[in-house]
Amino acid sequence: MGTLQQLKLWYKDLISVIYPALCEVCDSTLVHGEEAICLDCLMNLPRCNIHNDPFNTMHQRLMGHAPIERAAAYFHYYRESKYTRLIHAAKYSGRPRIAELLANRFASEISGDRFFDGIDLIIPVPLHKTKIMKRGYNQSFHIALGLSRATGIGIGDNLIATRSHTTQTKHNSYTRWLNSQNIYEVQAPHTLTGKHILIVDDVLTTGATLLACCEAIHKAEPSAKISVLTLALTQLQ
């Protein structure tokens, strides 16, 4: 090990003594081998467990022109639940590594059910470049990274956001849907011919964003099969 690496490790140890790493969910101190989330919280994660259902709630929310093959979400996003902190940390607090870790773990949990069989490419829901500049990263790309590391499936950058969303949280679902129309473009669609693509995002709410991505790909390359995966799934009011 080089001196610099040793120094880095030593520094990391020192930091963890001064600021011990805490569980993002319950704030308990993490022990060796735990990262971002403690074992208790991981065990009690409100898992969706819907990935084996061929017409689950995600399929239902994403009904449009593009047929959806498989759909998976890791955990339920209840507004009052402490588990929402995982998404907030990954999305707004500059810790995309959490998205990567969760995605990696989710992939390991469902690959035994052959969820990833036949999937050729993972494509993250893109963020507009002004938003990337502001946030510094696209959390969906980090989800793709975690999945890719667990499955060996490559990541594609075919989807691009041509304009920025207005903040969606205050809008109703129809306005959200209108807002997300024609935001996404597909680059090099010929590279997707006959491929099975997994589109990934952090949270599925109404499905407007993911639906717009699926439709853009379906329109640009109708022979591509499409599956979807998100980390969290909200309840619809």
CB of 137: closest distance to Zn ion in angstroms? 24
> What values do phi and psi take at 106, rounded to 5?
-60, -45
> Distance of CA 127 to CAs 42, 67, 104, 118, 139, Å?
28, 23, 21, 27, 9
Is residue 232 part of the contact set for Zn ion (CB under 5 A)? no
- Closer to Zn ion at the Cβ: 31 or 236? 31
- Closer to Zn ion at the Cβ: 38 or 89? 38
CB of 28: closest distance to Zn ion in angstroms? 5
Per DSSP, the residues of 23-45 read -TTT-PBPPTT-BSB-HHHHHT-
- Closer to Zn ion at the Cβ: 44 or 175? 44
Taking residues 191 to 220 in sequence order and writing x for each that binds Zn ion by CB under 5 A, - otherwise, the string is ------------------------------
CB of 30: closest distance to Zn ion in angstroms? 8
Question: One-letter amino acid identity for 56?
Answer: N
- Closer to Zn ion at the Cβ: 41 or 220? 41
The answer to whether 58 and 68 have CB atoms below 8 angstroms apart is: yes
CB of 44: closest distance to Zn ion in angstroms? 8
CB of 85: closest distance to Zn ion in angstroms? 10
- What part of residues 6-65 is at the interface with Zn ion (CB under 5 A)? 23, 25-26, 38, 41
CB of 45: closest distance to Zn ion in angstroms? 10
Q: Is the dihedral of CA 198, 203, 204, 209 positive or negative?
A: negative
How many chain residues bind Zn ion (CB under 5 A)? 5
Rounded Cα gap, residues 201 and 123, in angstroms: 9
- Closer to Zn ion at the Cβ: 75 or 115? 75
H or E element at residue 20: none
- Closer to Zn ion at the Cβ: 4 or 43? 43
CB of 143: closest distance to Zn ion in angstroms? 21
The structure tokens listed for 120 are 């050729």
List helix spans (H) across the chain.
Answer: 3-18, 39-43, 57-61, 84-92, 97-110, 129-135, 139-151, 173-180, 208-220
Q: Helix, strand or coil for residue 72?
A: strand
- Closer to Zn ion at the Cβ: 37 or 58? 37
- Name the site residues for Zn ion (rule: CB under 5 A): 23, 25-26, 38, 41
